Amino acid sequence: MGAITFYEKERIFQLDTPKSTYVIGIVDEENFVGHVYYGKKIKDGRVGYLLRTAEAPFVPSKNNGERVSFLDSFPMEYPGNGLGDYRRSSIAVRTQGGHAAVALSYVSHKIYPGKPALPGLPATFGDAESCETLELLCEDGVLGLKVTLLYTAFTDVDVITRSVRIENQGEALYLTKALSFSMDMDNRDFSLLTLHGSWGRERMMERRRVGHGFMGVESVRGESSHQDHPFMALEAEGAGQSSGEVYGIHFVYSGNFIGQAELNQFDKVRVSMGIHPENFCWKLERGESFQTPEVVLTYSDTGYEGMTHNLHDLYRSHLIRSPYKDKKRPILINNWEATYFDFDTEKLLAIARQASKLGIEMLVMDDGWFGHRNDDTSSLGDWYVNEEKLKGGLKYLVDEVNKLGMKFGIWFEPEMISPDSKLYREHPDWALAVPGRTGSLCRNQYVLDLTRREVLEHTYESVAKILRSANIEYVKWDMNRQLTDIGSLGLPADRQGEIYHRYVLAVYELQERLVTEFPQLLLENCSGGGARFDPGMLYYSPQIWCSDDTDAIERLKIQEGTALIYPLSTMGAHISDCPNHTVGRVTLFETRGHVALAGTFGYELDITKIPEEDVKQIPAQVEMYHKYNDLVRGGDYYRLASYAGNHMYDCWELVSKDKTEALVTFVQVLGRPNYKSRRILLKGLDADKYYRIEGLDGVYAGDTLMYAGILVENPWGDFQSRLYHLTEVLN
């Protein structure tokens, strides 16, 4: 049997992953599509009785006089709008007559191996071996709208993905809401875990009890944002780090989103996620269709740990495509915190010379190499080399860096335009703008109207031209402000409501073209730090800059929240100089190294100026990276202690898939007087294997390490850290 079963008589669809089951039922003569079950795997999904439709006169065909009671309580897979279900709808329209109602009923279905790509959108992928797809075709006969609910069940990871394709076969209408997923469940004293943040402190975990009414996460900023993350976990009463039931819901999208949880009068919870309906209005002519982005759902009965493992495995195997995804990334040194805008060829080469001697493998030239940019007030859009700074040109610099045996990488912010730029003087109409209004500048820049074909083409060419001009092997693609002034000269009045989504599609198109023309390129996304760290961008770049806050201690919290849902291989993390440029904290160079090791690992400092004792540590750090990066990238991640929660110390562990090796990182954030040691219980080892711990005497059994633990000797002061490397001992 495949992952998806259709029980014809019962009109039930059962979707199975290795450890979870999802059940959909079609009911009544009107073919309502109901959500029956999502949770721990069950053998037989014929549990349609849970929908209570046998209890006539509950269903409209038996008792139309109470249609509203039915619609307002029936657990819908994809709720329509305006006809009696007073909970949040998933889809809404504006017709020629000005009406908003939508009602969907099942028409037919298809089940097939594999998973279709979503045109123009990033999405998880899988072959016939690793997943199966169900397409439920529904329709609203009055509108002539065909709505296909797409579900894919993975067979190698506990994940189900959902998206929706909407095709108009009736009169032209406007889609005013088109979410990607909705699900109604009985409340189990759920709490919602979300990731809140700001610049410099992205993805802080927050929990709140799901109460009556409505709550959620959202962005209306044109990107996934620092502030809220397109992710929610629904945690059943009693669930925790390693036990209990957790549902993870994650949106593969980089623009405006909404994720909502609504607890209603009958103690049912409706959760949904999709493109934010605010300022969204998409015209669908007859024959046109709209594909929503995809939502990833994962169920775990081993708490957050299981959810984390499912998402890490999914993204590593079924989302990231880069040739680097399973490879060590070159250790880079970035000049941003080293020089900011004040650099020239000589300064960069001095950094590169010193870095290459110490084992660093790539120089990345950050902001300030183009136009006449010496601060953030000019030149975005003028993507040609400033030869006053880079004497001899870009190719000369790249060749010199290559001669040192290092790769070369470069920074761009392609989506932006400075008013003080040649590009703006030539094309003032290329910025997003509302006619008659003063544009809202942010970091002295406007956003390019990428929804216009000529602007997109020009933007692509300006980046590609530079990449073609020299041996550039890495690009940091930045985006340093959020969208405002939503107006495009390229779209008619009734399509201005499409700009936010079209903008995101344009960014995807640009990055798709880039990785197609330069297939070996290592692309790192970035947005004022981590404001566009989302699964959508991971489809194009295997790593994303996590945060502009490079302080090792602040990073503990940022990286914990990020690693909750993203593999460590995706988290851009650098060792920077002290006092830290964001918070002024002074930490040990060694600790900074241990924290950056949990990400992509690199340096962001002036290696020609940092203290000699720090420089001396670099070769050993480089060695440490090479020794552990396979494990960090490919292993299972376990959270052993959370500084964000206990305010004193942090601890995480990576275990190789075959459980022969593990690495534990412990950071004592605040020293504690008269405190001798702390017992740490390891996780994920093989209870029957024996392990040696580097630097410690003896051999330890896996069960001892997991249930009795190790002793972290604790006589040190603030910000000290330690690694424990375990390897299996064969006897």
| Stretch of residues binding ligand GLA (CB under 6 A), selected from 219-227, 378-386, 494-502, 522-530 | 522-530
CA distances from 302 to 195, 501, 591 (A): 20, 36, 31
Contact 659, 613 (CB under 8 A): no
Side-chain half-sphere CA neighbours of 266 within 13 A: 15
CA distance 432 to 430: 7
| The amino acid at 668 | Q
Nearest to 27, CA basis, from 39, 10, 40: 10
Binding of ligand GLA by 545 (CB under 6 A): yes
Which one is catalytic: 534, 548, 549, 577? Answer: 548
- The nearest distance, CB 175 to ligand GLA, in angstroms, is 34
| Stretch of residues binding ligand GLA (CB under 6 A), selected from 104-112, 385-393, 526-534, 634-642 | 526-534
Binding of ligand GLA by 366 (CB under 6 A): yes
Comparison of 380 and 655: residue with beta carbon closer to ligand GLA: 380
CA distances from 37 to 40, 274, 299, 717 (A): 9, 21, 12, 51
| The amino acid at 371 | G
- The nearest distance, CB 402 to ligand GLA, in angstroms, is 23
| Stretch of residues binding ligand GLA (CB under 6 A), selected from 246-254, 285-293, 521-529, 661-669 | 521-529
Comparison of 411 and 589: residue with beta carbon closer to ligand GLA: 411
Comparison of 200 and 535: residue with beta carbon closer to ligand GLA: 200
- Nearest 10 degrees: CA dihedral of 338, 343, 347, 351? 30
Comparison of 223 and 478: residue with beta carbon closer to ligand GLA: 478
β-strands 474-477, 649-655 pairing: unpaired
For residue 56, give both structure tokens.
């006539």
Comparison of 411 and 601: residue with beta carbon closer to ligand GLA: 411
Comparison of 226 and 312: residue with beta carbon closer to ligand GLA: 226
Q: What is the DSSP string of 225-245?
A: -SSB-SEEEEE-TT--SSSB-
Nearest to 163, CA basis, from 90, 225, 103, 241: 90
Question: What is the three-class DSSP state of 720?
Answer: strand
Contact 226, 198 (CB under 8 A): yes
- The nearest distance, CB 119 to ligand GLA, in angstroms, is 31
CA distance 606 to 339: 7
Sign of CA dihedral 52, 54, 60, 63: negative
- The nearest distance, CB 413 to ligand GLA, in angstroms, is 7
Contact 450, 507 (CB under 8 A): yes
Comparison of 31 and 444: residue with beta carbon closer to ligand GLA: 444
Contact 670, 556 (CB under 8 A): no
CA distance 208 to 195: 11
CA distances from 490 to 436, 454, 481, 679 (A): 16, 10, 22, 63
- The nearest distance, CB 449 to ligand GLA, in angstroms, is 22
| 455-484 footprint of ligand GLA as x/- string (CB under 6 A) | -----------------------x-x----
CA distances from 70 to 28, 35, 372 (A): 11, 14, 65
- The nearest distance, CB 528 to ligand GLA, in angstroms, is 5
Contact 98, 285 (CB under 8 A): no
- The nearest distance, CB 44 to ligand GLA, in angstroms, is 52
Binding of ligand GLA by 223 (CB under 6 A): no
> Contact with ligand GLA (CB under 6 A): which of 370, 411, 460, 724?
411
Q: Where are the beta strands (DSSP E) in 90-200?
A: 91-94, 105-113, 131-140, 145-154, 159-168, 173-186, 191-196
Which one is catalytic: 16, 184, 382, 478? Answer: 478
Comparison of 263 and 575: residue with beta carbon closer to ligand GLA: 575
CA distance 681 to 703: 10
Comparison of 583 and 681: residue with beta carbon closer to ligand GLA: 583
Q: Is-catalytic flag, 228?
A: no
CA distance 295 to 259: 10
**Count of residues in contact with ligand GLA, rule CB under 6 A:** 11
Comparison of 260 and 480: residue with beta carbon closer to ligand GLA: 480
- The nearest distance, CB 524 to ligand GLA, in angstroms, is 10
Comparison of 274 and 529: residue with beta carbon closer to ligand GLA: 529
Angle at 690 between CA 684 and CA 692, to 5 degrees: 95
- The nearest distance, CB 337 to ligand GLA, in angstroms, is 8
Comparison of 302 and 547: residue with beta carbon closer to ligand GLA: 547
Sign of CA dihedral 169, 174, 178, 183: negative
Binding of ligand GLA by 277 (CB under 6 A): no
- Provide the residue count of the chain: 731
> Contact with ligand GLA (CB under 6 A): which of 28, 367, 554, 650?
367
> Contact with ligand GLA (CB under 6 A): which of 252, 348, 417, 526?
526
- The nearest distance, CB 394 to ligand GLA, in angstroms, is 18
- The nearest distance, CB 557 to ligand GLA, in angstroms, is 18
β-strands 543-545, 571-572 pairing: parallel
| Stretch of residues binding ligand GLA (CB under 6 A), selected from 352-360, 524-532, 623-631, 702-710 | 524-532
| 635-664 footprint of ligand GLA as x/- string (CB under 6 A) | ------------------------------
Q: What is the DSSP string of 250-267?
A: EEE-SS-EEEEEEE-TTS
Q: Which residue has the tokens 């016939």?
A: 128
CA distance 703 to 162: 39
Q: Where are the beta strands (DSSP E) in 285-384?
A: 289-291, 294-300, 332-334, 362-365
Q: Which residue has the tokens 């975005």?
A: 380
- The nearest distance, CB 341 to ligand GLA, in angstroms, is 8
Binding of ligand GLA by 202 (CB under 6 A): no
Q: Is-catalytic flag, 478?
A: yes
Question: What is the three-class DSSP state of 360?
Answer: coil
Task: Kindly identify the residues of this chain, within the stretch 87-106, that bind ligand GLA according to CB under 6 A.
Answer: none
| 318-357 footprint of ligand GLA as x/- string (CB under 6 A) | ------------------x---------------------
> Contact with ligand GLA (CB under 6 A): which of 122, 197, 529, 635?
529
Binding of ligand GLA by 528 (CB under 6 A): yes
For residue 269, give both structure tokens.
């919870």
Other Cβ atoms less than 10 A from the Cβ of 202: the count is 28
Other Cβ atoms less than 10 A from the Cβ of 212: the count is 10
Comparison of 139 and 478: residue with beta carbon closer to ligand GLA: 478
> Contact with ligand GLA (CB under 6 A): which of 85, 262, 305, 548?
548
CA distance 184 to 17: 20
- The nearest distance, CB 529 to ligand GLA, in angstroms, is 5
* Catalytic positions, written as ranges: 478, 548
Q: Please report, as ranges, the residues that interact with ligand GLA according to CB under 6 A.
A: 336, 366-367, 411, 478, 480, 526, 528-529, 545, 548
